[in-house]
Amino acid sequence: MRMVSAGWLRRRRATMIAADLSLSPFNKPVRKDKIFMADPRFPKLFSPLRLRGITIKNRIFSTGHDTNLAAGGLVNDRLVAYHKARAEGGAGLLIIQVSGVHETARYTSHLLMATTDDSIPGYRKVAEACHAHDCRVFGQLFHPGREIMESQDGSLPVAYAPSTAPNERFHVMPAPMTRRLIDEIVDGYGAAAARMAKAGMDGVEIVASHGYLPAQFINPRINRRDDEYGGSFENRMRFLRRVIAAARKAVGPDKVVGMRISGAELDHDGLTEEEVLEACTALSADGELDYYNVIAGSSASIAGAIHIVPPMAIETGYVAPFAAAVRAVVGGKPVFVAGRINQPQIAEQVLVSNQADMCGMTRAMICDPEMPGKTAAGKIDDIRACIACNQACIGHFHLGYAISCIQHPETGRELDYGALKPATKAKKVLIAGGGPAGMKAAAVAAARGHKVTLYEAGARLGGQALLAQQLPGRAEFGGIVTNLTREMELAGVSVVKNTRVDGALVRREAPDAVILATGAQPRRPAFEGAETTHAVDVWQVLRGEVNVGSSVLVADWRCDWIGLGIAEKLARAGCRVRLAVNGYVPGQRIQQYVRDQWNGTLHKLGVEIIPYARLYGADGETVYLQHMSSGEPIVCEGIDTLVLALGHEQETKTVSELEDWTGELHRIGDCVAPRTAEEAVLEGLKVGAAI
Ligand SMILES: Cc1cc2nc3c(=O)[nH]c(=O)nc-3n(C[C@H](O)[C@H](O)[C@H](O)COP(=O)(O)O)c2cc1C
Ligand code: SF4
């Protein structure tokens, strides 16, 4: 697998320093001057791009991303509101999520479909909403081939592909396409493109990336046909060339036709960089495409899919070298790129180093729709940077829910929370707890006009996020604290640290409303033999409060980031680590790309995984687990330290102290029930907006 080189990163950092830009430890930019006009530090980012008949006002775009906001396969008001927010926020171009071009393209049960004229009014609404803010808009033409992710009704659908090559990730054995089906699907691309053009969209993008149907035809390891669509390079390119021709014919000479392609599929039998460059060179010679949109990865395997939405452990801007390679072979046609470009400084650097002509900043705008406008206005400190946690955006998508953002739960909820309503009466609000829940509640309530004071018992704001950022590869998680702190500053929240809220403090302050966001503590249940064993919890390890022996067993009940992270941390410290999960697989409950990437790391580090294992007891250096299904014991000997990752229990001390207080009282986040930062911030938003 090709990763970004150390040299490239050094060069990028050097140029950032030359441009008087710097990043804090949380990848949050630090502004060194005060510029409130169009920010001169981003000359390339805010230059227009001329593309066939249109002008894109700046170089920031949102790549096509499925939102699960649409209903019945058609654009609805929720989806229009979602895109309107990003257009209003200053993006130059929005590429709307994939639209199926044929009935056999239904890869999920909620795919947007461009197969009938019913789709036109919805596309028109999105186009009008974007154009009202001088933002261009393209549609994505999509057929997944064998990459069928979900059933429509519980029964397995037939997936159609060039030939019978199985998919490793979804375990699909496809049916080979007949030539007649190929003709139908090519016509479907044309008809879908025509509908998008009729709706007033500015262009269409053919999705040939991520191992989807056009890429399956190009790939000689997947396409084993012996007719005019298989065998030679020219034959394997025939399907894509027909699709491009159909799209061009359908949209006419003035609209844009582009293509999304993985610069390398980073997959055991996916397209290599050389094969992709060969295809792009040939397409460039044809001269039909207006731009090439480069990404990495493939839907077909665990390793390839990680790059569809790269998690925070992967370096920012790492796809840019692939884009640069494509740019070198496409004869001056614009090249777009995306993949962990989460800050305008990184985008500017990609552009000035001529690696690409447009920067996809998709999660950056899921997290902060106003990012382009804030950048243009020089308000860099105000940007809520995406931390690539993958939790509420692609995480929700894979669970079948509308996408959102853990830092900005307003995303996907624009119709309810798009505009904050000013408070009808300014209240004195007291918030107990400076973790993500309390911070978000404070920022929202103060922004609406309430007089808010937030009390934090410790010396630092952030709650459990301060610990989460200490896990390997998770430093960016601390960005959530930086971002919420800034939101509170902008809203005018007063913060009092090192002060625990109790009944006396509340009676003395006499607020109109109290919000309890006091969080949780590690759960330490009793188990047989605990007193004979060196047992510590994860918080103690992360805080450096305990010594850990060289042979460790991690008992992981939550099956999330904590078990994976502490196992990696201790393995990197030289320990022999056994990770016993009270589930099927480490990270079972977290987004699959994050989990899969992390399990690969643990495998490389030699961490032993014990699945289906609940902690039962211990005796000195022996830990007893119980198989969750058979009930049989699993005996682990030679354990110096048992590390408990057994979840949390709500902190309720303040709650009980306020039992006799009769004023307005709200409880949010982990102090209600221990969950994650996502629920904490969402509940902060809800109470802040309602109070
Ligand atoms: C929720 C979600 C859904 C996505 N669905 C699509 C899709 O429909 N088509 C596509 O080409 N890429 C899809 N992607 C990948 C994005 O287009 C983009 O390549 C990826 O998010 C990396 O860019 P970023 O780091 O700027 O977010 C999706 C990403 C997200 C977060
Ligand atoms: S949920 Fe996480 S990865 Fe997704 S947009 Fe928000 S911060 Fe970024």
Residues in the chain: 691
Give the CA count within 13 Å in the CB-facing half-sphere of 408: 26
Distance from the CA of 390 to the center of ligand 2, in angstroms? 5
CA of 65 to the centre of ligand 2 (A): 13
Q: Which of 62, 68, 390, 440 to mutate to test the pocket of ligand 2 (most atoms within 8 A of CB)?
A: 390
Which of 271, 160, 157, 166 is CA-nearest to residue 211? 271
List the residue whose alpha carbon is closest to atom 13 of ligand 1. Answer: 65
> Which of ligand 1's atoms lies nearest the C-alpha of 308?
15
Asked if 610 and 642 touch (Cβ cutoff 8 Å), the reply is no
Residue ranges for the chain with pLDDT beneath 70 = 1-38
Of 383, 405, 408, the residue with max ligand 2 atoms within 8 A of its CB, to mutate for a pocket test, comes to 405
Integer Cα distance of 352 and 474 in angstroms? 29
Determine whether the shortest distance from the Cβ of 403 to ligand 1 is under 6 A: yes
Q: Do the bridges between strand 160-161 and strand 291-295 make them parallel or antiparallel, or are there none, so unpaired?
A: unpaired
Residue 521's DSSP bridge partners are: 649
Query: How far is the centre of ligand 1, averaged over its atoms, from the C-alpha of 361 (Å)?
Result: 10
Place of tokens 């307003």: 410
> Are 603 and 575 contacting, i.e. CB atoms less than 8 angstroms apart?
no
Closest CA to 199 of 126, 96, 123: 123
Protein residue with its CA nearest to atom 1 in ligand 2 = 405
Neighbours of 179 (CB within 10 A): 11
Cα of 453 vs centre of ligand 2, distance in Å, is: 28
Provide the pLDDT for residue 53: 86
Distance CA 301, CA 297 (A): 9
Region of 287 on the Ramachandran plot (φ > 0 left; ψ -120 to 50 alpha; else beta): left
Q: Which of 4, 27, 59, 65 is the pocket-test mutation for ligand 1 (most atoms within 8 Å of CB)?
A: 65
Nearest CA to 239 among 220, 221, 218? 218
Ligand 1 atom at shortest distance from the alpha carbon of 396? 1
Tell the residue nearest (CA) to atom 5 of ligand 1. 65
296 lines ligand 1 (CB under 6 A): no
Structure confidence by residue, pLDDT tens digits, 140-171: 999 999 999 998 899 999 999 999 999 999 99
β-partners of residue 583 are none
Q: Is the CB of 260 under 6 A from ligand 1?
A: yes
CA of 475 to the centre of ligand 2 (A): 14
Phi/psi for 264 (5° steps) reads -160, 140
Q: Residue 361: CB within 6 Å of ligand 1?
A: yes
Q: What is d(CA 39, CA 16) in angstroms, rounded to the nearest whole number?
A: 15
Distance CA 252, CA 240 (A): 18
Q: Round to whole Å and give the CA distance between 246 and 167.
A: 28
Residue 528 gets which letter from DSSP?
Answer: B
447 lines ligand 1 (CB under 6 A): no
Beta-carbon-side half-sphere exposure of residue 256 (alpha carbons within 13 Å):
29
Closest ligand 1 atom to the C-alpha of 393?
1
DSSP per-residue codes, 287-334: T--SEEEEE--BTTSHHHHTTTS--TTSPTTTTHHHHHHHHTTTTT--
- Look at the block and give the residue holding tokens 């039998």: 269
- Please report where in the chains the tokens 């992390």 appear, as a residue: 598
Ligand 1 centroid to 244 CA: how many Å? 22
Using only the alpha carbons of the chain, give its radius of gyration: 26
Strand partners, 642: 535, 553
Q: Does the C-beta of 308 come closer than 6 Å to ligand 1?
A: yes
How many A from CA of 387 to the centre of ligand 2? 6
Closest listed ligand to the CA of 405: 2
Residue 98 · residue 112 · CB < 8 Å: yes
Q: How far is the CA of 656 from the centre of ligand 2 (A)?
A: 35
DSSP H helical ranges for 448-590:
465-468, 479-491, 503-509, 538-542, 561-572
Element (H, E) at 122: helix 119-131
Q: Residue 606: how many CB atoms within 10 A of its CB?
A: 9
Pairing mode of beta strands 112-113, 175-176:
unpaired
Residue nearest to ligand 1 atom 28, measured at CA: 65
Measured in Å, residue 340 CA sits from the centre of ligand 1 at 10
Ligand 2 site: residues with CB under 6 angstroms?
363, 366-367, 386-393, 405-407
Measured CA to CA, the distance from residue 325 to residue 356 in angstroms comes to: 10
Measured CA to CA, the distance from residue 141 to residue 157 in angstroms comes to 21
Ligand 1 neighbourhood includes 264 CB (under 6 angstroms): no
Q: How far lies 632's CA from each of 125, 532, 629, 644, in Å? A: 60, 22, 8, 21
Instruction: Report pLDDT for 92.
Output: 98
The ligand placed nearest to the CA atom of residue 368 is: 2
- Which residue do the tokens 């003035």 mark? 254
What is the structure's pLDDT at 33? 35
**For the CA of 366, the nearest atom of ligand 2:** 5
- The secondary element (H helix, E strand) that includes residue 348 is helix 344-352
Closest CA to 131 of 68, 67, 202: 202
pLDDT tens string 326-383:
999 999 999 999 999 999 999 999 999 999 999 999 999 999 999 999 999 999 999 9
Please give the number of the atom of ligand 2 that sits closest to the Cα of 363.
5
| Cα angle value 154/628/610 (rounded, 5°) | 100
CA atoms of 673 and 679, how far apart (whole Å): 10
For ligand 1, say whether the CB of 141 is within 6 Å of any of its atoms: no
What is the 307 CA–ligand 1 centroid distance (Å)? 10
Is the CB of 104 within 6 Å of ligand 1? no
| Residue 296: closest CA among 593, 681, 659 | 593
Residue 562 alpha carbon to ligand 1 centre in Å:
26
Tell me the C-alpha distance between 462 and 315, whole Å: 24
Side chain identity, residue 335: V
Distance CA 474, CA 456 (A): 24
Q: Which strands make up the sheet holding 535-537, listed edge to edge?
A: 535-537, 641-645, 551-556, 576-581, 608-610
